[in-house]
Amino acid sequence: MRLLDLYCKAGGASKGYADAGFEVTGIDIKKQKRYPFTFIQADCFEILQDLDYLRTFDVIAASPPCQTHSRTQHLRNAQGKSTDKVDLIPQTREALIASGKPYVIENVPGAPLINPVQFCGSSFDLKVRRHRLFESNLQLTGSVCDHKKQGKPVGIYGSMRDEIPGGGTPQRLLSKHVRLWELTG
């Protein structure tokens, strides 16, 4: 089965879909040098307008930018990056519904998803206390958090060479741990 992964970034979710047996095609507006599957550099919003193209896939997954809804938007503001206050979830949902295909929209807690289920990194034996919400036109069952089992969590946020003006640098993980999350996220 063919799966289209919109807003795919480096391919963390794509890896999970591929492991589940899907042939994955990822689309992102920014070039992804290490994306491990078929990749198309394009504006996802433009792709969403092409219903005929969307219908060539069996399933569509989308992870619209989360900065507008993220609890860490204040960190971005402190770094001088701010959020663009663009919420692509409504337009993404509208196009996915119009495609008539099974779909999943992933985003952060606080995002305006309809009847979402929650998954937590602690449910997958990761040392990441990272909650994500999923909306779908299919029946989904979320996971149960097991924060006690996971021990002290690690944080994944910020980007390379981030600094907060006037002091501090966000905590970062060793690259192998970040790569693990990208591959299993």
- Torsion-angle region of residue 158: left (phi > 0), alpha (psi -120 to 50) or beta? left
Q: Which of 41, 45, 77 is nearest to 64 (CA)?
A: 45
Q: How far apart are CA 48 and CA 61, in angstroms?
A: 12
| pLDDT of amino acid 127 | 58
| pLDDT of amino acid 153 | 52
pLDDT over 80 (residue 183): no
Topology (CATH level 3) of domain 2-184: Rossmann fold (3.40.50)
- Burial class of 47 by CB neighbour count within 10 A (0 to 12, 13 to 18, 19+): middle
| pLDDT of amino acid 71 | 58
The dihedral formed by the CA atoms of 65, 66, 72 and 78, expressed in degrees to the nearest 10: 30
Q: How many residues does the chain have?
A: 185
Q: Please give the model's pTM, rounded to 2 decimal places.
A: 0.75
Q: For 4-54, how does the pLDDT look when each residue is reduced to its tens digit (9 = 90+)?
A: 999 999 998 999 899 999 999 999 999 999 999 999 999 999 999 999 999
Q: How far apart are CA 178 and CA 41, in angstroms?
A: 23
Q: Which of 165, 107, 105, 91 is nearest to 138 (CA)?
A: 105
Q: How far apart are CA 38 and CA 26, in angstroms?
A: 6
* pLDDT band with cut points at 50, 70 and 90 for residue 144: confident
Q: For 56-102, how does the pLDDT look when each residue is reduced to its tens digit (9 = 90+)?
A: 999 999 999 876 666 555 565 666 665 566 788 999 999 999 999 99
